[in-house]
Structure 1
Amino acid sequence: MRRWLPSPSLSVALLVFWLLLNHSASPGQVLLGAALALAIPLLARRMDHEHCPTGSLRGVPRLAVVFAWDIIRSNLIVAAQVLGPESRIRPGFVWVPLDIGNLRGITVLASMISLTPGTLSVVLTDDRRHLLVHALHLDDADALVRQIKTRYETPLMEVFP
């Protein structure tokens, strides 16, 4: 049973949240929600097989404030870029070398990058040493790498050693 349903409580929670998000308990939504509730824990189980310890949580409040500020600031910047002349936008890709090795830490880092308007995590190399990031506007690739490493990766390395 555990093989096909590794986390029954997570599966139930996913199904309930799916139905709440869709404001519907139609048979189709229940079926799709049940499929997701079975598939997501199976896919997430991979992280449980790896040793992904959690370290000190002291830096989490500061990281949350930095992240919230970056989201607000980035929203304003992206809005100005989108409403301005298209010729001023210079999208680009940059490889971010990773010092963090913890899979959960890498997942949180990639999520934070994707949740910040104007940036998107694209791919993680197989060896987990580099993350490809797309930026809506890329003036200085080195500055973006420095910003990601100092504002996000370094604090996350405390939480996910």
Structure 2
Amino acid sequence: MSILSRAFARLLPMPLHSLFLLIVWLMLNSTTSLGHILLGTLLAIVIPVLCAPLRIPQPRIKRPFKVVSYVFLVLKDIVVANFEVAILVVGPMRRIKPGLVAVPIDLVDILPITVLVSTVTMTPGTVGADISKDKKWLYVHVLDMPDNEQEVIDLIKQRYESRVKEIFGC
């Protein structure tokens, strides 16, 4: 790495964040006057420089095209689950069986675990309730627990966790 590129990396440790901060600053002030551009540029440089030591290295997305298919899968599941929960709540009276399931997880890094928990929580009828301290178990609250809790475990592991592992190369 050359001296110039190291200096640039120190001045702008997060260039996209800096650009985003400048754009947001100008949009919030509804003006592009020279004073606002200069102040916004100063803030867009200073804030990321001050925040750079706080950054935690995150795992890289190894298969970005899998992210697109994962997003569509989750969106489809959210729509389907919304209808299922609506029918369950508004439909004919029947006994709802809520339950808590311990799902073993094979993910190690916090970002893939967060993606998995967020996916489970966004899908109506399930909520990621807790993660064990050793990050080996995800506790999921299920609105209507099937008779065999292994169905829920298999669904989460095969439908979501396996895809998250592919995306992050875990």
Same fold by TM (over 0.5)? yes
Aligned residue for 1:123?
Answer: 130
Preserved CA contact (<8 Å) 1:52 1:102: yes
Q: State the alpha-carbon separation in 2 of the partners of residues 112 and 59 from structure 1.
A: 15
Aligned residue for 2:108?
Answer: 101
Structure 2: stretches of 5+ with no match in the other structure: 1-12, 29-46
Aligned residue for 2:164?
Answer: 156
The CA deviation at 1:52 is 2.4
Match of 1:137 among 124, 144, 158: 144
1:83 and 2:90 correspond: yes
Give per-residue Cα distances to partners, 1:115-161, cap 9 Å, x unaligned: 00000001111111111000110013110110111111001101122
Give per-residue Cα distances to partners, 1:77-130, cap 9 Å, x unaligned: 000111135642100000110011121100000001000000000111111111
Preserved CA contact (<8 Å) 2:98 2:141: yes
The CA deviation at 1:65 is 2.1
Tell me the secondary structure at the aligned position of residue 129 of structure 2: strand
Q: State the alpha-carbon separation in 2 of the partners of residues 9 and 85 from structure 1.
A: 54
The structure-2 alpha-carbon separation of the partners of 1:10 and 1:155, relative to structure 1 and needing over 3 Å to count, comes to farther
Tell me the secondary structure at the aligned position of residue 49 of structure 1: coil
TM-score under structure 1 length normalisation: 0.68
1:66 and 2:57 correspond: no
The CA deviation at 1:12 is 5.3
1:57 and 2:64 correspond: yes
Q: State the alpha-carbon separation in 2 of the partners of residues 54 and 147 from structure 1.
A: 23
Give per-residue Cα distances to partners, 1:35-69, cap 9 Å, x unaligned: xxx9xxx8xx5xx4355232122322221222111
Structure 1: stretches of 5+ with no match in the other structure: 1-5, 20-37
Q: State the alpha-carbon separation in 2 of the partners of residues 116 and 105 from structure 1.
A: 17
Q: State the alpha-carbon separation in 1 of the partners of residues 19 and 152 from structure 2.
A: 36
TM-score under structure 2 length normalisation: 0.65
Letter in 1 for 2:154: R
Q: State the alpha-carbon separation in 1 of the partners of residues 19 and 129 from structure 2.
A: 27
| Structure showing greater Rg | 2
Letter in 1 for 2:128: S
Preserved CA contact (<8 Å) 2:58 2:111: no
Q: State the alpha-carbon separation in 2 of the partners of residues 9 and 114 from structure 1.
A: 31
Q: State the alpha-carbon separation in 2 of the partners of residues 126 and 10 from structure 1.
A: 37
